[in-house]
Amino acid sequence: MQSGGGEEEEDYIKKIPTILLLKIINYVDDNVDLVCLLLSCKRLFNFTTPSAAVNYHLSFKHIEYKNPKSNHYINNINAYYSKKCYHLKSFKKMFTNTFSDTMIIRDKKNHGRDDSNNIIATAIVLEEYKDDSMELSLGIPQSTTSLTLHQPIRKPLPADFRFPPLLNHLTIHYETQEAIEKCNGLPDSLRSLTLLIESQNFPNKILPAGLERLDLYMGSNFYIEPRRLGLDTLTSLTWLRTYSIADKEDTKYCTLPKSLTYLKTEMEDIPSSPTYFRPLVHLVHLYLEILDPDLNNDTFGFIPSSVKTLELHMNPQSANPNEKQPIPDNVESLTLTGYNVSQFDKLPNSIKKLVIKDFQVSNDSLPTITLPNNLQEFKWIHQNQSIKPPPLQFIYPSTLKHIDYSLLEQPYKQPIPQSITEFKYRVSTTTNHNTKIHIIGRDDGDGLIFPSTLIKLSIYINRQVNDRWIFRFDHLINQSNIDQLVIFGNDINFQVDIRRLDPENRNVLILGKSLYGGIIHQQIEQQMKDNGGDDHQYQYQPIYLCFGSGNTPPKLKFNLSTKIVYKFVDN
């Protein structure tokens, strides 16, 4: 029967026109889903093979350029190493297609250049521009729409240097005053710009008028007024991230473009004028790092009513906020760093997502904190993750669905509300020996009792290089309704879905995004009646999920004292 069903499915696929199948495939945005789809039948898989009669140009999505040999902070610059980061040799053609529009210019001789007839959209220049390296500028294809100059500009670019005419995005770093002062301007075609400059003597109003997105970084010891850069004239700019601009003191209204919907910046102090950001009527996302806040001002009254996502990062040594001006009640997603714990009860009920980090707390008392009534997601971060934070008590609302404690050592075993569907937590009980076993569903030691509503569990393993970690997998299968398990940490990325195939959980299907999978046949060691009634309880043979040292797939064991019984299949 199964074979017949498979043949019918194959016949159905054969009837779909190729152009429609390719359109469906191109709609798949997740790479793992794409691999699974292409492996589902021979006809789909043939689209990926080098021997295909037609080059269907299928490619992966959202793949970064990784150079595993480089420790440089910008580690996304070499497409030629990318295929080595993924163990999918059957899809080599798709990787080639993914990078077919990318050119890496690595040195003066242009080694690694793609001389095929492909239209180049992305160019990444690793070589430093100098007066005697004209061939590099000539080597950038005219079709380039995204250009990254990886090395800083120390000498002025040649007078006849021209950026590609269709350039849409540029990343460039002017390191010296000479290079900045002799800048011939940036192309008007730019819509996105990442600009690093290290001098205040930058030409006025050099930014292209059509910019929509700007990352602006300058030297750490100075600020530039927005008007001097011409920011106030950029009527199309919607996204701005910078730590280097500031209006004059006591400015009533900011001089940033009114079109902004996203702003990430830092300020010395909270604006003295409550109308400072009022011109930004379209602002939805606001990220502020306040270096030395005087919270005796009107505090957060300057935040526009249009803001839905707010991140405030302050010095934890600051004074208490003014109670007359709490967080505005239009905010739906809130991240707070350095905020006083005594003010948490005053958060508005409009908040649906709350992240707290490195809050201030009095040593005299630890208040019980009532979280906002409509909260759906809650995350608690402690900066020094190896030290337990203060043992705060929370009153959770019935609307809460997600809790994330993966970035702190829990100060005590917190009860998990019945409304929770997703829970993340941190485990540091790893060892060099196979002696410590992590168990859920046990009301002692490290055990956590999960509500029946919990569907997804994520565990962050805080382990040393050579440490091992053992997890009782059978407890999760038999004592919870969890059907998504994620275990991550140093050299660990284990993601599986759990499908219980019968009422007694004798057969359990394991599959997931880690490309591990298989069916576990559980053995029932003992069958008992519940209090003499008709309901039966089963005691199963232990199943251990064992994570060894290094980046190796986990092993499934039924007995820790014997050899491996089962090993996950790595496709």
Q: Residue 509: is it exposed, middle or buried by C-beta count within 10 angstroms (0-12/13-18/19+)?
A: middle
- The type of residue at 88 is L
- Predicted confidence (pLDDT) at residue 291 exceeds the cutoff of 70: yes
pLDDT score at 285: 98
- Predicted confidence (pLDDT) at residue 190 exceeds the cutoff of 60: yes
User: What is the DSSP pairing of strand 555-557 with strand 544-547?
Assistant: antiparallel
Residue with tokens 């029932």: 524
CA 131 vs. chain centroid, Å, equals 40
pLDDT band of residue 568 (cuts 50, 70, 90) is very low
Question: How many CB atoms are located within 10 Å of the residue 396 CB?
Answer: 19
Instruction: Express as a percent the part of the chain with pLDDT over 70.
Output: 74
pLDDT score at 358: 81
CA 542 vs. chain centroid, Å, equals 35
Q: Which residue has the higher pLDDT, 142 or 366?
A: 142
Highest mean pLDDT among 12-21, 49-58, 274-283, 556-565: 274-283
Give the pLDDT mean for 191-220: 85
- Predicted confidence (pLDDT) at residue 227 exceeds the cutoff of 80: yes
Of 264, 288, 284, nearest in space to 333 by CA: 284
pLDDT band of residue 236 (cuts 50, 70, 90) is very high
Of 391, 366, 394, 362, nearest in space to 378 by CA: 394
Nearest-5° angle of CA 279, CA 280, CA 286?
Answer: 140
| pLDDT single digits (tens) 426-464 | 887 655 555 567 877 654 445 577 899 999 999 998 877
Residues 107 and 349: their CA atoms lie apart, in Å, by 57
Query: In whole angstroms, how large is the CA radius of gyration of the chain?
Result: 29
* Domain assignments of the chain as residue spans, ordered by start: 2-46, 421-571
Q: Could you tell me which residues come within 8 angstroms of residue 198 by beta carbon, excluding any fewer than 6 positions away?
A: 174, 175, 176, 180, 218, 219
Instruction: Classify 11 as helix, strand or coil.
Output: helix
CA 60 vs. chain centroid, Å, equals 18
Q: Could you tell me which residues come within 8 angstroms of residue 542 by beta carbon, excluding any fewer than 6 positions away?
A: 472, 474, 558, 559
Instruction: Classify 180 as helix, strand or coil.
Output: helix
Termini Cα distance of the chain: 26
Residues in the chain: 571
- Predicted confidence (pLDDT) at residue 309 exceeds the cutoff of 80: yes
- Which H or E run contains 335? strand 333-337
- Predicted confidence (pLDDT) at residue 38 exceeds the cutoff of 50: yes
Lowest model confidence (mean pLDDT) among 73-77, 108-112, 130-134, 406-410: 73-77
Residues 295 and 39: their CA atoms lie apart, in Å, by 59
Nearest-5° angle of CA 39, CA 45, CA 50?
Answer: 135
Give the pLDDT mean for 12-30: 85
- Predicted confidence (pLDDT) at residue 173 exceeds the cutoff of 60: yes
pLDDT score at 377: 98
- Which H or E run contains 105? strand 102-105
pLDDT score at 333: 98
- CA distances in angstroms from 177 to 155, 181, 230, 352, listed in the order given: 9, 6, 20, 47
| pLDDT single digits (tens) 40-62 | 888 888 887 766 555 567 888 87
| pLDDT single digits (tens) 534-563 | 556 678 889 999 888 776 778 888 888 655
Q: Which residue has the higher pLDDT, 379 or 535?
A: 379
- The angle that helices 18-27 and 31-38 make with each other, rounded to 10 degrees, is 150
- CA distances in angstroms from 67 to 77, 79, 100, 270, 318, listed in the order given: 7, 8, 17, 41, 42
pLDDT score at 187: 92
Contact 135, 110 (CB under 8 A): yes
Nearest-5° angle of CA 339, CA 341, CA 343?
Answer: 80
pLDDT score at 97: 82
Give the pLDDT mean for 4-31: 77
Q: Which residues in 186-307 belong to E strands, given as ranges? A: 192-197, 213-217, 239-242, 262-267, 285-290
**413-421, Cβ contacts within 8 angstroms, sequence gap of 24 or more:** 413/448, 416/448, 416/449, 416/450, 416/451, 416/454, 417/451, 418/451, 418/452, 418/453, 419/451, 419/453, 420/451, 420/453, 420/454, 421/453, 421/454, 421/455, 421/456
| pLDDT single digits (tens) 86-126 | 556 778 788 878 878 888 776 555 444 444 556 888 887 87
- Predicted confidence (pLDDT) at residue 361 exceeds the cutoff of 80: no
Contact 369, 341 (CB under 8 A): yes
Q: Which residue has the higher pLDDT, 54 or 420?
A: 420
Of 301, 264, 263, 305, nearest in space to 281 by CA: 305
Residues 146 and 125: their CA atoms lie apart, in Å, by 11
pLDDT band of residue 70 (cuts 50, 70, 90) is very low
- Which H or E run contains 135? helix 134-139
SS (H, E, C) 491-558: CEEEEEEEEECCCCCCEEEEECCCCCEEEEECCEEEEEECCCCCCEEEEECCCEEEECCCCCCCEEEC
pLDDT score at 191: 97
pLDDT score at 115: 47
Lowest model confidence (mean pLDDT) among 50-54, 195-199, 479-483, 486-490: 50-54
- The type of residue at 427 is V
pLDDT score at 82: 47
pLDDT score at 325: 52
